[in-house]
Amino acid sequence: MFTPSVTRAAAAGRWIYPTPAGLYVAPGDFFIDPVRAVDRAVVTHGHSDHARGGHAHVLATPATLAIMEQRLGRSAGTVRQPLDCGDTLTVCGVRVRLAPAGHVLGSAQVVVEHAGARVVVSGDYKRRPDPTCAPFEPVPCDVFVTEATFALPVFRHPPEGEEIGRLLHSLALFPERSHVVSVYALGKCQRVIALLRAAGYDHPIYLHSALEPLCALYTRFGVDLGDLRPVVGADAAALKGAVVMVSGSGGGGWAAALSDPVLAVASGWVRVRQWARQRGAELPLVISDHADWDELTATLAELSPAEVWITHGRDDALSHQAARMGIRARALALVGRGGEGEEGE
Ligand SMILES: [Zn+2]
Ligand SMILES: [Zn+2]
């Protein structure tokens, strides 16, 4: 039984702290998700705002390393060391363990222990079931380092099954129209496909070429995405009433070549009406890979750490909420993270 301690949390602030390169663990001489090239990096997951290129040594889960290799090529790290979730490594007296974060394939929290104190750096996470990655593991700790991407009470993501139901409903309603679904390439794409499969949709799903390599990687790691086909070269008749996944916003010029497509956008940000309108989303699907307000606050209540450190996002509301729960909050204001336009979603 682990009992969080205010004294140990305060002491932890002297050996793990933010620097311009990112969160630094001094006794182990490594950074977690550094934004600059460093000698030793521990990387929580493959999104580009966390997994940067150019590090000399990278420690991450095997899936995250594979994602980095695919996206960054030779700059994915000179020496890449895999660490499976649950395994422990000791670096200069600092114990490091990875625990699943439930965000995207390979995503992990970094559990760091030194001088009796335990700090959990969650990276990005969510608490909802996701057929494409292992679920978030709550790890009791003195200090919980959290994101705050959707840390406003207005952000409450609806059940993802409901959102997928709206897509299926539209497909049934408009059997002649292609349904172009705009998604982030890493995580959202594969989750939407897996959710469609779980809902019984077994038709071929067409992929824009930019999405093919990551879908193939997910399949290699054992995530079944069903029948996937390239959209380029597919004949027009086959695309009638089909689901076409595209990366990024707007669908690109080639989507306009489809006759009268329905444009769907899957993102937590479609809750912001202005954001959805700018992207021309006819069918906004609120599907997020980040914890919403209720998940963030429920996680704080469950872990009940002595301190919560907020890395990026909307820290005011979450700080206030933490204080009400008797948890000391600190905004780290790490630069180069998240944001509406970035892949952090
Ligand atoms: Zn992020
Ligand atoms: Zn992320």
Tell me the CATH number at 300.
3.60.15.10
Question: Measured in angstroms, how far is the CA atom of residue 106 from the centroid of ligand 1?
Answer: 14
Question: Measured in angstroms, how far is the CA atom of residue 337 from the centroid of ligand 1?
Answer: 6
**pLDDT confidence of 106, banded at 50, 70, 90?**
very high
> How many structural domains are present in the chain?
2
> Looking at the structure, do residues 19 and 135 belong to the same domain, yes or no?
yes
Q: How far apart are the C-alpha atoms of 252 and 206, rounded to whole Å?
A: 15
> 52-66, 192-206, 240-254: which range is least confident on average?
240-254
pLDDT of residue 280: 82
* Residue range 11-34: mean pLDDT, rounded: 97
Q: What is the pLDDT of residues 304-316, one digit of tens each?
A: 999 999 987 778 9
pLDDT of residue 342: 45
> Looking at the structure, do residues 139 and 18 belong to the same domain, yes or no?
yes
**pLDDT confidence of 256, banded at 50, 70, 90?**
low
Question: What ranges make up the beta strands (E) of 140-281?
Answer: 143-148, 179-183, 205-207, 228-230, 243-247, 262-266
Residue in 82, 106, 77 with CA at minimum distance from that of residue 96: 82
> Looking at the structure, do residues 118 and 14 belong to the same domain, yes or no?
yes
Question: Measured in angstroms, how far is the CA atom of residue 33 from the centroid of ligand 1?
Answer: 10
Question: Measured in angstroms, how far is the CA atom of residue 192 from the centroid of ligand 1?
Answer: 19
Question: Measured in angstroms, how far is the CA atom of residue 122 from the centroid of ligand 1?
Answer: 10
pTM: 0.94
> Looking at the structure, do residues 78 and 164 belong to the same domain, yes or no?
no
Phi, psi of 181 (to 5 degrees): -110, 115
Question: Measured in angstroms, how far is the CA atom of residue 275 from the centroid of ligand 2?
Answer: 19
Ligand number with the minimum distance to the CA of 101: 2
Question: Measured in angstroms, how far is the CA atom of residue 191 from the centroid of ligand 2?
Answer: 13
Residue 201 lies in a domain: yes
Residue in 264, 271, 259 with CA at minimum distance from that of residue 249: 264
Ligand number with the minimum distance to the CA of 49: 1
Residue 343 lies in a domain: no
Q: How far apart are the C-alpha atoms of 185 and 80, rounded to whole Å?
A: 23
User: Exposed (0-12), middle (13-18) or buried (19+): which is 224, by Cβ within 10 Å?
Assistant: exposed
Question: Measured in angstroms, how far is the CA atom of residue 345 from the centroid of ligand 2?
Answer: 6
> Looking at the structure, do residues 146 and 168 belong to the same domain, yes or no?
no
- Does position 141 have pLDDT exceeding 50, yes or no? yes
> Looking at the structure, do residues 10 and 136 belong to the same domain, yes or no?
yes
> Looking at the structure, do residues 257 and 303 belong to the same domain, yes or no?
no
> Looking at the structure, do residues 107 and 184 belong to the same domain, yes or no?
no
Of residues 253 and 270, the one with the higher pLDDT is: 270
- Does position 344 have pLDDT exceeding 80, yes or no? no
- Does position 255 have pLDDT exceeding 90, yes or no? no
Residue 92 lies in a domain: yes
Domain span including residue 50:
6-154+290-331
- Does position 338 have pLDDT exceeding 70, yes or no? no
Residue 65 lies in a domain: yes
Residue 30 lies in a domain: yes
Question: Measured in angstroms, how far is the CA atom of residue 90 from the centroid of ligand 1?
Answer: 26
**pLDDT confidence of 252, banded at 50, 70, 90?**
low
- Does position 265 have pLDDT exceeding 70, yes or no? yes
Residue 339 lies in a domain: no
What amino acid occupies position 179? H
Average pLDDT over the chain, rounded to an integer: 93
Question: Measured in angstroms, how far is the CA atom of residue 147 from the centroid of ligand 1?
Answer: 8
> Looking at the structure, do residues 187 and 223 belong to the same domain, yes or no?
yes
Q: How far apart are the C-alpha atoms of 328 and 319, rounded to whole Å?
A: 8
